Structure 1
Amino acid sequence: MKFVAITSCPTGIAHTYMAAEALEMTAKEMGINIKVETQGSVGAENQLTQEDIREARVVIIAADTNVSKERFAGKTIIEVGVKDAIKDPKGLIQKAIDIKVENINISEQVSEIKEEKKAEKKGPYKHLMTGVSYMIPFVAAGGILIAISFAFGILAFKEPGTIAAALMQIGGGSAFALMYPILAGFIAFSIADRPGLVPGMVGGMLATSLSAGFLGAMAAGFLAGYTIVFLKKIIKMPKSLAGLMPVIILPVLSSLIVGLVMVFVIGKPVGAINVAMAKYLTNLSGANSALLGIIIGLMMAFDMGGPVNKAAYAFGVGTLVAGQTSMVMAAVMAAGITPPLGIALATVIAKKKFTSEQREAGKAVWALGAAFITEGAIPFAAADPLKIIPSVMVGAAVTGSLSMVFKAAIAVPHGGIFILLIPNAVTNVGAYILSIVVGTVITALMILLLKKDIIVKEVN
């Protein structure tokens, strides 16, 4: 018996591969042959061939993004969220085993798939996450190159002709500068396919030049996508001129509309909000900064890579400016590091509360936490959500609060504790490390207090 599967999460980083690994390991234990294609941030890997699909009894799609199903016409398909494959891979495979495979009318299924595809494109969250997933590599590359330039001195990049200046130009002036155009362009792409890229990126560039930041770029992306959808509906061209639509008519009209709205309607008000927010964040101190840090920590740990976590991360990225550091981004990263590190520590100091498999998995979670992959905590949270989730939220809230109170700041949007190796990438580095350590210990102690021993559970 053979199955094929596809896993895909909005950012294409952790959930995608965790779901694939869970399905593969469980299938091996059950004596089932399965091939899993991952559609991650680097593109499709371990791609399914037509022979794989033809031999498969059932197709499993565990995804939170739009996955094309045309190639599976005629096959029985099971669709679930990516987290379902992580939480209960055995149940999902058993469902595939038990499901009744029927003779499917291929033409009818193709029509249904097309209708589903149209319906899927209406999800604003999926559109936003598509933009974010394409944006993150640019932000990470640019941010880390900026941080490396600081290794030559915090202001060394101001000296023309130096390596530091070149790194700042590459990271800040190029890769980092593409952050908002890429975000807006691929939000529009998710809504309207390729025609959305031009007005989306134009709107993103205007968001940058008008200081409208993340919010402005997000608005530009949605505006561009839905403008293309609207123009396609109202403009009807004879077949002889249809080739002009994607090359001239749609790009020109949509860019004009999006550009005018950004310049005269959205840009200035959102830019003013961003400037006011930047001043407020810069002047935060005492109770105000502590409260913001608590909120950031709670959001980062609540769903560990889900929409709430991504909203906090996007907010943090929006506070980063090329050549400058951000206290908010520092709190976001610290609070994202803490949950997996706290769980990993708990598997060491409270061994009786975890199975042997979980203790073994805890060794890998150290590395995931260190690399700022909050999703490493998910398998443990899925196994005991009422104990683990409150524990990691408390620990992350403490970390976020301390990071803000200590006024620790970073210039890098990703990298975890490894950015500490880059000189000048983190300000107030000792206090920043302390905030992470304290939150990690508190997380582990909370788990120690709340979680029961596995032996007690088995006896009951």
Structure 2
Amino acid sequence: MVAVTSCPTGIAHTYMAAESLENAGRDAGVEIVVETQGSAGFTRLDPAVIAAADGVIFAHDVPVREKDRFAGKPTVDTGVKAAINRPADLITEVRGKAERGEVTGVATASGGTPVERAGDSGEGYGTKLRKWLMSGVSYMVPFVAAGGLLIALGFAIGGYEINKAPSVMDHFVWTQADSWGALLFQIGGVAFGFLVPVLAGYIAYGMADRPGLVPGFVGGAISLTINAGFLGGLAAGLIAGGVVIAIQKVRIPTALRGIMPVVVIPLISAAVVGFLMFVVIGKPIAEAQQGMTDWLNGLTGTNAVLLGALLGLMMCFDLGGPVNKVAYTFATAGIAVASPSDSAMKIMAAVMAAGMVPPLAMALATTVRGKLFNRTERENGKAAWVLGASFISEGAIPFAAADPLRVIPSSMVGGAVTGALSMAFGATLRAPHGGIFVVPLIGNPLLYLVAIAAGVGVTAALVILLKGLREPAPVTTGTGENTSVPAAGTKEPVAA
């Protein structure tokens, strides 16, 4: 079999799904070759390998690139988490389709938009809307990371007045740290300038393919011009995609079809989107954006702590899934300007701190009470130290998939504690990613680490407590291995 995995950020879920499928394939005696379409690009599978495959698994939350290569094969098309949580079921499903000779709609994948080619044709508009938005966010995240880290490094090197420095084109001294700080800050500011246009452009691309790019980028740029910000970019992308789809439904004389994609569609769609953004909906969206900004700037005391707790709960609810992405996108939208407010930087700090809690807590729990976890989980716990320190919440997914009723609630409690404490301590963060490696760029770094440690401790303690209530005392065998007898009501033995 061959498989393709991809997730909105192209970092953790993509590769965890690939590993899960490969392991399940070995257990089932099936050779699986996986193409990971991650944020660093992808290496295409050898066409000969695809041709020889008996079936295909698509595990993705964003459109699979060049999906036509797999046309005519028995195919299972699902979300990336399904490949992580139940890879054996997917393999069985593909086997069944291959035995019955079923070929899915992939054979006609050359038509439709990227989102329509990304999943089942019968998907509801809610599912399609999520994929459209995730398409935009997946392309935006690298700009957020690059721009945010460059700006944060600029402040670290040049101080917090570096945003008032003149252009480095007019003044740059090779031997002065301030000049280098200003250079990094200004490069980061340019990278941030692409965020909203890229978001809008690729939302429109997800809806209408390449014809959506021009009106999407134009609408996103107008959103920046009228100070409609992130909300304006979302609206511009959806409008641009809708306008292009509407134009494409109009019956055009054969003689004009050749100029439609390069002249007519870009001209009409950009004009319509520009008119709507400038004249009709731009001002209300800009006012809503300003209202949200003012609300964030006014957050103090109990309100700020409660917001931190809520964001912490969201970050730990589905460990990189849609709810996690909503909280993360909310935070990054606040700092995606050259001069974000203090409240926006506090929110970003709380979100990153809470996102680090689940994997670090699982790593700590497997270290402190290893007998409550099987050998595979203990190995995953070693990797979770690094993943958690790097702000990759997905490092806790293997534990949540194996025992969701204990791991997820425990993670949410610890995430809420960390988010609330981070806000209470007034920790700030300019960078949208980096984990422990950007602590020098954080305001109040020592208290920030205390907030993370508190949440990790709470989650680890709860997981150990809940698992301990289920587990009997281990019985030592003559081989020196500890085994556990399943407690009443449990279905699976837990190896120590």
TM-score (norm 1): 0.92
Give the 5 Å matches for 1:38-437. 38-45=36-43, 47-67=44-64, 69-103=67-101, 110-111=107-108, 114=111, 117=117, 123-152=128-157, 153-160=159-166, 161=171, 162-172=179-189, 174-234=190-250, 236-320=251-335, 321-324=337-340, 326-421=345-440, 425-437=441-453
Aligned to 1:23: 21
Hey, what does 1:32 align to over in structure 2? 30
Number of matched residues? 451
Amino acid at match of 2:89: G
- One-letter amino acid of the counterpart of residue 245, structure 2: V
State the distance in 2 between where 1:10 and 1:426 align. 26
d(CA) in 2 for partners of 1:434 and 1:221?
Answer: 40
Partners of 2:211 and 2:16 lie apart in 1 by 33
Does the aligned pair in 2 maintain the 1:195–1:251 contact within 8 Å? yes
Q: Percent identity?
A: 49
SS in 2 for 1:7: strand
Shift of 1:101: 2.3
Deviations 1:113-134 (A, max 9, x none): 8576365695000000000000
Relative to structure 1, is the Cα distance of residues 124 and 109 closer, same or farther in structure 2, using a 3 angstrom cutoff? closer
- 365 and 398 in structure 1: CA distance in 2 versus 1, 3 angstrom threshold: same
1:39-65 Cα deviation digits (max 9, x unpaired): 2222323x2222112211221222223
The answer to whether the 8 Å contact 1:57/1:101 transfers is: no
**Aligned residue identity for 1:458:** V
CA distance in 2, matches of 1:434, 1:140: 25
Secondary structure in structure 1 of the residue aligned to 2:281: helix
Q: Which moved more, 1:387-396 or 1:332-341?
A: 332-341
The one-letter amino acid of 2:320's match is G
Matches of 1:258 and 1:105, distance apart in 2: 40
Structure 1 residues 455 and 53: alpha-carbon distance in aligned structure 2, compared to 1, 3 A threshold: farther
> Conserved in 2, the CA contact under 8 Å of 1:408 and 1:429?
yes
More helix per residue: 1
Deviation at 1:237, TM superposition (A): 3.1
2-side partners of 1:455 and 1:105: how far apart? 48
CA RMSD of aligned residues (A): 2.2
Q: Contact conserved, 1:302 with 1:389, CA < 8 A, in 2?
A: yes
- What is the SS of the residue equivalent to 2:454? helix
In 1, are the aligned partners of 2:55 and 2:98 still within 8 Å (CA)?
Answer: no
Structure 1, unmatched stretches of 5+, are none
Partners of 1:74 and 1:319 in 2: CA distance = 45
Describe the SS at the equivalent of 2:439: helix
Q: Write out per-residue CA displacement over residues 141-171 of structure 1, whole angstroms, 9 at most, x where no aligned residue.
A: 0000001101221213423322222212111
Q: Which residue of 1 aligns with 2:477?
A: none
Q: Please give the alpha-carbon distance, in whole angstroms, between the structure 2 residues aligned to 1:171 and 1:5.
A: 36
> Per chain length, whose mean CA-contact separation is higher, i.e. which structure has more relative contact order (CA < 8 Å, sep 6+)?
1
Aligned to 2:491: none
**Letter aligned with residue 23 of structure 2:** M
Residue 245 to residue 305, structure 1, CA distance change in 2 (3 Å): same
Quote how far apart the aligned CAs of 1:267 are: 2.2
